[in-house]
Amino acid sequence: MEIAQLITYFLIAPVPILLIPVLLLWRKRVLYIGSSLLACISSMIILVLGVFGILVSKPIVYVFPWFNIQMSTHPYWFYFPVILGIDKISSYFLIILGIVSLTSSIYMHGYYASLKRKGEVTRLVLSYPLLILFMYLVIIVQSLFWFLVFWEVMGFTTQLLIASSMKRGGVVSAMKYYLLTKGPAELMIAGGIVSIIISSGDASYATVAHVLKSLVGHNLLATIVAPGLFLAGLMAKIGLIPLHSWVPEAYGESPTMASSLLSGAASKIGVYMLFRLFMYFLPPVFVWGIVLSVFGTATLIYGTLNALRQYDSKRLLAYHSMGQLGYVVLAIGASIYLASYQPCNALLSTVAAAAALYHAFNHSLFKTLLFMSAGAAEYALNERSLDLLGGLGRMMPLTSLVALIASFSISGLPPFNGFVSKWMIYSSTMPCSGLLPVCGFAAMFISSVTSASFMKYYTSVFGRPAFRSPGEVREPLSMVTAMMILACLCVLFGVAPFIPLMMIGHSLRGTWLHQPFPQGLVPVINGVALNPSIIIAAVVFPLSGLIYDVAIRDRTRTVPGWFCGAKKIVARTMPQPRHYFDEYESVFSEIYVIGDTIHSGLIKTGHFVKSILQRKSFVFEAPLFMALLASLLILILLIIGLLQGVLPG
C-alpha cells in the first residue's frame, strides 16, 4: 500500500468512527461506554495526523471526485469539489483539537455519575462526538464553500451540546448562542465567503490565497468588504466584544466536558480561520492590524475585569476564556500592524505571530484543565458557587495540585507555559511606537488582575475551610488522569518551549512573514533549547528544601490557633469570595460603570428586538421572506462585483 493512500485512509478515518454513536442510539448502555471510547480513538488519530502534518515537508491534499457541486454549466459559475488536506497551520490546530478532545473524552467517562437523568446523558454522548467530527472537518477542508457547510453544521451541534441538559439555563444559553452566532454572524460569514469567491473566481484555499493578495489595495471587495464581513462573523464565534454575551452562559450551563471542549477547542476554530484569513489569504493591511489589536485589547480588559466579579466558578472561567482569547487576537493584530506600518520591525511581527499561536495552544491546555477542576469540585459537592465551596484541598489533593498548576499557568508565572507566550506578546508590543505599547501595557496590567482572580478561585475552592461538611469525596481515576495529562503539558511547554516553538516555526511557513522564525528567542545550552526558568527552578527549589530540612524544620513547633473562644474556625464567619476585591472594584468603579451601562443598554435593545420578533415572527419565519433576504444579499454582492470589475458585465 502506498504511503499517500494510507494517509488518505487516516484522513477520513475519524469521520466513520465519530458517526458510530448515532447508530448506537437504540443501545443506550453500549452508547454510554462506546461514545467516550470512540471519541478517544478518533482523537488519537487526529493528534497523529497533526504531528505528521507538521513533520512532512509538503501539504497533503486529497480531492474527492465523487462528491462535487457544480453551480452551473456556464463557464463563469463555480465548481466546488470536496478538497480535504492538512497543511502546516491546519496541522497545528489539529494537534490542539486532538489533545483537548482526547483528555475531555477520558474525563467524560468518569463524569457520567454526575449526570442524573439518562436523557441528559443520551443527548450529551450524541452531540459530543458530532461536534468533534465537524470541528475536524472544518480544519482539514481546503475549500471555502465546504468550510461554510461544515461550519454551519458545527454550530448546530454546538447548540445541541450546550442545551444537552435541557434545563432552563442551558436552553436559554443555547438560544442566545444561536441568535448571536447562527443568525447575523453566519450571514456575515456567508457574505464574506461569497465576496471572496466572487473576487478570486474559485473557492479552493490555494487559489484564494494567490488571487486575493494581488487584488488587495486595488479592489474594495477584496480589501474591505469580504474581510470585514468574515471578521464580524468570526468575532461572534470567538467571543470578542461586543458579540460576547453568549460565552458566560454557554460555558457555565454546559456539562463540564462540553465546557472544556468549547473553550479549549471550539473557540480555537474561529482563531484558526482568523489566522488563515489575515496571515495566509490577505497581505498585511494596516487597518486590519489596528482593528484586531483594539478589539483584542478591549476583550482581554473586559473579560478579565468581569471575571474578577464572578462568584460562580464556571462563569469566572468563561470570562477568563474571553480575556485570554483577547491576548491571541491582540498578538495577531500586532503582527499585521508591525508588518504593514513598520516594516523595519519584521522580526517583532514574526514574534507576535508566534506568540498568537503559542498562547492559543497554551489557552487550550490550562483552560481545559481549569474547567475540569471546576467540574471535579461540582462532581464532589454538586455546587458551583465559590461562596459555598471550600475545603477540597485535603480531600482532593491531585485535583488541588493540577488546579494550582493551571492557575499559575494562566496567570503567566514561570516556569509554566503561560509565562512564555505572554512574555512574547509583551516583547513584541512594548518596544514599538504608536498604539501597540498601550495595548501591551494593558495586557501586562490585566495579567496581574488574572493572578488576583485565580487567587480567589483557588483559595475559595481548595484552600479555605469547607462551608459545609462535604461527606465522602472521591476522585474518579479517569477524571484525574485527564487532568494530570494537561498539567504535565502545562509544565513541559513552560520549561521546554522549544517543542511548541518548533511546531510554530513550521506553521508560519506559507504566511506573508518575510523574517525567518527567530530561533534566538530560545536559549541553547550544549545544543539543547531550554527555558532559563527551568535552570532557576532546578537550583532554587532543591536548595530551599535543603535549607528548610537542615536549618528550620527542627526549630519549629505546631500550636493550636486561637479563634476568639470558638473551638474551630467557622467558614460562615469568613469573608465571602464575592467580597474579596470590593476595594479593587471601588478604585476602578468608572470602568465597571461604563461596562454595566453598555451591558444594560444591550439587554434593553435585546428585549426590544425580541418583542418585535415575537410580534412579527410569522413574517421572519416564512420561507418567502428568507428567500427574499438571501436574494437581496446575492444581488448586493453581484452589484459590488460588477462595480469592481471582477464580474463580466
Grid cell digits, residue 131? 461536534
| pLDDT of the residue at 385 | 80
62 sits in the region (left: phi over 0; alpha: psi -120 to 50; else beta) called beta
Q: Which tens digits make up the pLDDT trace of 65-93? A: 545 554 444 444 455 677 888 888 999 99
DSSP letter string, 589-647: HHHHHHHHHHHHHHHHHHHHHHHHHHHSHHHHTSHHHHHHHHHHHHHHHHHHHHHHT-S
Nearest Cα residue to 136 out of 244, 7, 45, 34: 45
**CA–CA separation, 125 vs 39, rounded Å?**
10
Q: Are the beta carbons of 68 and 39 closer than 8 angstroms?
A: no
| pLDDT of the residue at 173 | 63
**CA–CA separation, 274 vs 295, rounded Å?**
13
Give the amino acid at 75. P
Return the half-sphere exposure (C-beta side, CA atoms, 13 A cut-off) of residue 637. Answer: 22
Distance of CA 643 to the CA centre of its chain: 38
Q: Map residue 283 onto helix, strand or coil.
A: coil
- Tracing cell 467557622 back to the chain, one arrives at 570
DSSP letter string, 512-539: S--SPP-GGGS-EETTEE--HHHHHHHH
Describe the crossing of helices 313-341 and 417-429 by its angle, rounded to 10 degrees: 40
Average confidence (pLDDT) over 1-17? 74
Give the DSSP H or E segment for 315. helix 313-341
Grid cell digits, residue 481? 488522569
> Per-residue confidence at 369, pLDDT binned at 50, 70, 90?
very high
For the ranges 125-139, 230-244, 334-348, 349-363, the lowest mean pLDDT is seen at 334-348
For the ranges 38-47, 564-573, 597-606, the lowest mean pLDDT is seen at 564-573
Domain ranges for the chain: 1-277, 284-517, 587-649
Residue 362 or residue 217, greater confidence: 362
| pLDDT of the residue at 76 | 41
Nearest Cα residue to 384 out of 259, 482, 292: 259
Strand duo 528-529 + 524-525: pairing? antiparallel
Grid cell digits, residue 490? 502545562
Q: Which tens digits make up the pLDDT trace of 407-466? A: 999 998 888 888 888 988 998 888 877 788 899 888 988 888 898 888 888 888 887 776
Average pLDDT of the chain, as a whole number: 77
DSSP H helices in 69-204: 88-111, 118-140, 144-162, 168-177, 184-200
Tally of CB atoms within 10 A around 574: 12
Average confidence (pLDDT) over 513-524? 56
For the ranges 183-187, 358-362, 410-414, 543-547, the lowest mean pLDDT is seen at 543-547
Q: Are the beta carbons of 192 and 640 closer than 8 angstroms?
A: no
**CA–CA separation, 185 vs 21, rounded Å?**
30
Angle at CA 174, nearest 5°, toward 171 and 176? Answer: 110
Q: Which tens digits make up the pLDDT trace of 554-589? A: 666 666 666 565 555 555 556 666 666 666 666 666
Give the amino acid at 337. Y
pTM of the complete model: 0.83
- Tracing cell 469568613 back to the chain, one arrives at 574
CB burial of 6-36 (b: ≥16 within 10 Å; e: otherwise) equals ebbeebeebeebbebbeebeeeeeebbebbb
Report whether pLDDT(290) > 80. yes
Average confidence (pLDDT) over 38-58? 87
Tally of CB atoms within 10 A around 216: 19
Per DSSP, what are the bridge partners of residue 253? none
- Tracing cell 473562644 back to the chain, one arrives at 565
| pLDDT of the residue at 578 | 62
Residues 6+ apart with CB under 8 A from 510: 87, 88, 89, 280
Q: Are the beta carbons of 387 and 576 closer than 8 angstroms?
A: yes
